[in-house]
A and B are shown apart, each in its own frame.
Chain A
Amino acid sequence: MTLEVKTKSFPKPSELAVPAGAEGWEKLYPYNLVFQNLSGAEDEKFWFCDSQHWPTVFKPFETIGGEFAVKCLGQYNTRHLMIPPANGIEFKIHLGYLYMSPVPVPEAEIPNRVPEFERRAGHYFQNWDSMLEGWRTKVHGTIDEMESLTFEPLPDMVPFEDIVSGKAKDGSEVLMENFDRLIQLCYQNWQYHFEFLNLGYIAYLDFFGFCKEMFPGVPDQAIAKMVQGVDMELFRPDDELKKLAVLAIELGLQSSFENTDDVAGTLERVRAAKDGARWAEAYAAAQDPWFNFTVGNGFYGHDKYWNEHQEIPLGYIKDYIRRLEDGHDIMRPVAALIAERDRIIAEYRDHVDVEHQAIFDAKHGLAATAYPYVENHNFYIEHWTMGVFWRKVRQLGAVFVDAGFWSAPEDMLYLNRGEVRDAIFDLVTGWAVGSEATGPHYWPTEIERRRGIFDALAAQRPQPALNTPPARITEPFTMMLYGITTEQVQQWLSGDDAKSDGSITGMAASPGVVEGRARVVTHADQIGEVQEGEILVASITAPSWGPIFGKIKATVTDIGGMMSHAAIVCREYGLPAVTGTGRASTTIQTGQLIRVDGTSGRVEILEG
C-alpha cells in the first residue's frame, strides 16, 4: 500500500452529479448566475454555500433576493465605505443553491483605502442617530410606494373618459411600469438594507476583537450579550400578540379562540362578544405594521406572512391565553435582562486595566449603538418590505392566471424576472391584438417541466463548499456572519463531524444545560406541533417563531452563528441554545431524549 498525500479539497462544481430529473437545471437561472468557468477562475476559487439565508433551492424568480442582497452587501464594502481589507462577495447558483466567495482587497491597495474609509465610516458613526432616522424615512417611503402599486386585469375596452381626455394609452403600460417599479423598489430597499449593516458588524467585530485580546477565551456569548439590544423591534410582533392575549382575558373573550384555524369565524365571534369591538380594534392596530412578519426568512415566494395567514398569529394568541390561564408569566423579563446585561458589562469593565477602561468604554459604546441595527433592520426589510413584495408578485401572478397563462399565482415563480417581463408583453400583445397570447400554450408545460427539475434539485442537499479552501480563512465578515472559519472548513473536509462519543457539537450560543424530548421541525408549517417542555431541533429558525420560545426548553439548529435568530432569542428567553451543528435536524429524531449544553456547545442523544 502506498501512502498518497494530497491537499484535501471540496469537489469542483463540474464534478458534482446532477440529480436524476434535474438535467438542464442551469437554464432555469440567468447566464451570469451559474458556473460556466468562462474566465477559468471559477473552478479555482473557494466557494461556500450560504445555506443560512438560502437553505432551500431557488425557484427562478426567487433568485432576486440573493442577487439584490449579496450585490448590495458588496457595494457598501467596495464602493461606499471603502472597507480597507474587504470587497464584496461573489455569488453563484449551483444545482439550485447559493455559493459565495469573498473578494479580498489586494494587499497593496489596502493603505490607500484607509483615509477614505475613515472619512466615510467616520461620518456615519458620528451621525449615527440622525442618519438612521433618515434611513427609516427612506425605507418607509419605499414600502408605501410598493403598497400603492396595483396589478389589475386589463379591461375589455378602454374607458370612455380616456377617449375624451385623449389619454391615448391602454393601461398595459401600467402593468409593465408597475412590474419594473416593483423590482426597482425591492432593489432600493436592499440597497438601504446594507447602508448600516456592514458598519454595525464592523463596530461589533472591533469590540469583539478587543474583548478577545483583553480577556483571552472570553465566551462569544458574553460579548454578544454586552452589545445586544433587549427591547428590539424584532420582538415587537410577538409582544403585540402577548398584549392581545392579555386583553382577551381582561375582556373575557377566551371562548372566542377555540378554533383559530377558522380566522373569519374567530374574528366574528370576538366582534359579536361584549367588549369584543375593543379587542378587534387593538387587533387591527397591531397588524399595521407588525403582522408584516413571516414564518420564513423573506427570501422565498412561499414564505407565509401573518397578515395573510392570520391563523398563525391567532393560534399564538390562543396559546398565550392558555398559558396565562395556567398561571404562566408570558412576558419577557425585560428588566431582568437589562440588569443582567448591565452586570456583565460592568464586571468585564472592572476586569480591564485602568489604562484600557476608556478604550473599553469607547468600543463598547460604538458597538452598543451600531449593533442593534443588525437585529432591527430585519423587520423592515426581510419581513415588511419582502412581505409586501411577494404579495404584489402574487397579485401579478393572478393577472396571468386570469389570462390563462398558468393555474396558480405562485406558478409565476418558475419564471425568472426577465421572463416575467416578456410574458407581460406577450399578455398585453394578445389582449391588444385581440388574438390569443402565446403564454397559455407555452407556460403550463414549461412550468411543469421546470417544476420537475426544481423538485429533483430540492431532493438533494448542497455541498458545504466547493474547490480548494485557502490555508487560512481570515476575512472577518465571513467568519462572523457565516461561521466560516479554518476549523469549520477542516471539520467539513474531515467528512465526519461526529465526535467519538456520538455527541453533536456546534456553537455555544446561549448558556445553560437541559434535558428533554426533541421536536424536530423541518418546515415552518410544523411549528404548531411543538409541545410545552420540548427541545426545538430545526435546520434554522425565524423571528416569527417567537411565540414557541416561551414553551420550549432549548433550541438546537443546523445553521447559524452567535448572532443568528435562534441564538438571539434564546439568550433573550434564557434558554440554552446550540447553533450551527450542521446535522442536528437530520441526526436527532422527534421524541428522543437529548441533553443540550449551551455553555459548551454540545448536544447528546441520551436515549432513542
Chain B
Amino acid sequence: MTLDRSTYIQFFDGGVEPQHGLLGGKCASLVSLTAAGMPVPPGFAVTTALYDGFVDQSGLAATITMLLASLDVDDVACVDVVSLRIRDEICSRPVPSHLRAITIAAYEELQSRFDHEVPVAVRSSATAEDLPDASFAGQQDTYLWLIGLDAVLEKIRQCWASLYTSRAITYRAKNGIPDEGLSMAVAVQKMVNARAAGVAITMNPATGDRSKITIDASYGVGEMVVSGQVTPDNIVLDKVMLSVVSETIGDKHAELVPDLESKSLVEREVDPERRQRRCLSDAELLLVAAMAKRAEKHFLCPQDIEWAVDADLPDGDNLLLLQSRPETVHSSKQAVPGSAPSSSSTSNFNLSSIICALTGVQPKL
C-alpha cells in the first residue's frame, strides 16, 4: 500500500482541505486560518495517520492494549506505573524508517524557507473526543524554542506520549471512551520571536457580552499569559467600533524571551518603566482586535485566539496568529449571526418598555 505524503504530513499552507480526524483540532484550525489568509506562522502537521502507522507497524499498539487490559483505574499507583510504561515505550521504540524520513523531510522543507535555521514550537493537536475538554488545562503539550532535528523528533514523541498521562487514561476509562482509534497529531511551527503576546477572546467573558473583545497582553512569549504566571494588561474593546472600552495595566513582572547563548527561552524580569505602560501600542491593539474579529467571522462562533507581535518582522506584518479555538464557556448564550432583522417600522414598538426606561418602574402586565 502506498500512501501519498499528505496522509502523514500536511503543511499549513498546503491548500488541502483540513480533516479534523487527520489533523486534530489545533492543526485543522491552523490550516483553515492559513487558507483564510490569516497571518499564521508557517509549519506543518504530523498527522494522526503517521502516529497510527508508528504504533501499528512498531507493534506498540498491541503492547498498549495489553498493558491497559488488566488496569484497575481506581488504583492510582497502578495507573501511574502503566502510564509511565506506555509513555516510555512511545518515546523509545523506533519509528519505522519511512515515517521517520517523511518527518525529517518536512522539517527540512520548513527550514529551507529561511536563510538560517529557525527555532520551532512543537504542540500536540488532539482529536477532541479522546481527551478532556479543550479548556481542560494541562492536556495540551507545548514545547517552545526548539532548535535542531533531534529535539523536534523527541518532542513529537512526547506529544504522542501525552495521550497516556495518568489523567488521560483515567478520564477515558471513567467516561467510557474506548482506546481503539485513539490518536494524536502534532504541530511543528516556526517559533515567533515575540516582543509581546497574549490571548484575545471575542466577547467579554466576565459578562457574556458578545459585542466586546477582551485582550490579555504581556511582554515576551505568550505562555506566561496562558498559564497565568504574569498579570497581563487587560483591555476590553467594542467589537463593532474597535474602540477601547476599558483597560487595566497589569504588572507584567516577567517575560519569557529567547537567550541566544543557551539557545532556549529564559524568564527575565521586566523593568519598572515597561511594567507601568501598556505592552501594545494603540495601533497594535486595534490589529489584535481586528484579527480576533476576523477569526470569529471565519469560524462563525466566538473565538479564543493566541497571538504574538514578532520583533523581527516589520510593522504591519508583525502580528501573527498562533491559534484560534471556539470560546467554550459562554457557548450556550449565542445569537444566530446574520438572521435578517424585521422591518424597521414603528408598528411593533413597545411603549411599556419605554415607560419603564423613563420611570424606572416596571409596567403592569
Contacts and interface: CB of A to CB of B under 8 A. Distances in A.
Interface of A: 83-86, 110-111, 114, 117-118, 121-122, 125-126, 128, 202-203, 205-206, 209-210, 214-219, 221-222, 343-354, 357-366, 368-370, 476, 508, 511, 513, 599-600
Task: Tell me whether chain A's interface is mostly helix, strand or loop, or mixed.
Answer: helix
Interface size range of chain B in the complex: 35 or more
Contact of B351 (A118, A343, A600): A118
A339 to B, nearest CB: 14
Given A348-B211, A363-B349, A513-B282, 11 more contacts: A125-B346, A202-B354, A219-B245, A346-B338, A347-B211, A347-B240, A351-B210, A353-B335, A354-B334, A359-B350, A361-B344
Contacts of B338: 346, 350
A512 B344 CA distance: 29
Interface centre among A117, A210, A365, A369, by most B CB within 10 Å? Answer: A365
Interface in B328-365: 333-339, 341-355, 357-359, 361, 363
With most chain B CB atoms within 10 A of its CB, the pick from A346, A366, A368, A476 is A366
Interface string B32-62: 0000000000000000000000000000000
A370 to B, nearest CB: 7
A476 B358 contact: yes
B246 interface: yes
A541 to B, nearest CB: 23
Contacts of B348: 358, 361-362, 365
B3 interface: no
Nearest to A117: B355
Contact of A357 (B339, B344, B358): B339
A215 B354 contact: no
Contacts of A348: 211, 240
Nearest to B203: A351
Contacts of A206: 353-354, 357-358
A214 B346 contact: no
A84 B212 contact: no
Given A352-B335, A361-B341, A217 B350 contact: no
B133 to A, nearest CB: 24
Contact of A370 (B343, B346, B351, B358): B346
B261 to A, nearest CB: 41
A202 B342 CA distance: 21
Contact of B361 (A110, A221, A365, A366): A110
Contacts of B358: 83-86, 202, 205-206, 476
B344 A354 contact: no
Nearest to B204: A216
A369 B239 contact: no
A379 B343 CA distance: 28
A345 B355 contact: no
A435 to B, nearest CB: 61
18 contacts: A121-B354, A126-B347, A205-B357, A206-B358, A214-B209, A215-B238, A350-B335, A361-B342, A361-B344, A361-B348, A362-B342, A362-B348, A364-B344, A365-B346, A369-B346, A511-B243, A599-B243, A600-B244
Given A122-B351, A125-B351, A365-B348, A351 B342 contact: no
Nearest to B348: A362
Sorted nearest first, the 8 A-B pairs with minimum C-beta distance are: A365-B344, A217-B245, A351-B210, A215-B211, A351-B211, A366-B349, A350-B337, A347-B240
A202 B345 CA distance: 16
A118 B350 contact: no
A203 B351 CA distance: 10
A127 B335 CA distance: 32
Interface in B197-232: 204, 207, 209-212
Contacts of A357: 335, 339, 341
B349 A215 contact: no
Contacts of A84: 355, 358-359
Contacts of B363: 114
A125 B239 CA distance: 32
B357 A210 contact: yes
Contacts of A114: 355, 359, 363
Contacts of A118: 351-352, 355
Contacts of A352: 335
B236 interface: yes
Interface string B233-253: 000101111011110000000
Contacts of A354: 334-336
Given A117-B355, A352-B335, A359-B353, A222 B241 contact: yes
Nearest to A352: B335
B307 to A, nearest CB: 21
Nearest to B363: A114
Contacts of A349: 335, 341
Given A209-B357, A215-B211, A350-B337, A362 B349 contact: yes
Q: Which of B333, B341, B349, B359 has the most CB of A within 10 A?
A: B349
Interface in B162-220: 204, 207, 209-212
Interface in B107-124: none
B349 A219 contact: no
Contacts of A218: 211, 238, 245
Nearest to B343: A365
Nearest to B349: A366
Nearest to B202: A351
B287 to A, nearest CB: 15
Nearest to A208: B357
Nearest to A119: B351
Contact of B241 (A205, A361, A476, A511): A511
Interface in B268-298: 282
Nearest to B338: A350
B214 to A, nearest CB: 11
Contacts of B353: 206, 210, 359, 363
Contact of A219 (B204, B238, B341, B350): B238
Contacts of A508: 243
A363 B350 contact: yes
Contacts of A358: 342, 348
Interface in B78-118: none
Given A345-B341, A349-B341, A217 B238 contact: yes
Contacts of A214: 209, 211
B364 to A, nearest CB: 9
Contacts of B336: 350, 354
A216 B206 CA distance: 11
B241 A344 contact: yes
Contacts of B236: 217
B330 to A, nearest CB: 11
A347 B204 CA distance: 16
Contact of B345 (A86, A365, A476): A365
Contacts of B211: 214-215, 218, 347-348, 351
Contacts of A369: 344-346
B212 A217 contact: yes
B302 to A, nearest CB: 10
A523 B211 CA distance: 42
Nearest to B347: A126
Contacts of A366: 346, 349
- Which of A217, A357, A360 is the most central at the interface, judged by chain B CB atoms within 10 Å of its CB? A217
Contacts of A110: 359, 361
A398 to B, nearest CB: 47
A491 to B, nearest CB: 20
Interface string B307-340: 0000000000000000000000000011111110
A221 B354 contact: no
Nearest to B341: A361
Residue with the highest number of chain B CB atoms closer than 10 Å, among A86, A221, A353, A370? A353
Contacts of A361: 341-342, 344, 348
A163 B204 CA distance: 86
A351 B207 CA distance: 13
A349 B238 CA distance: 14
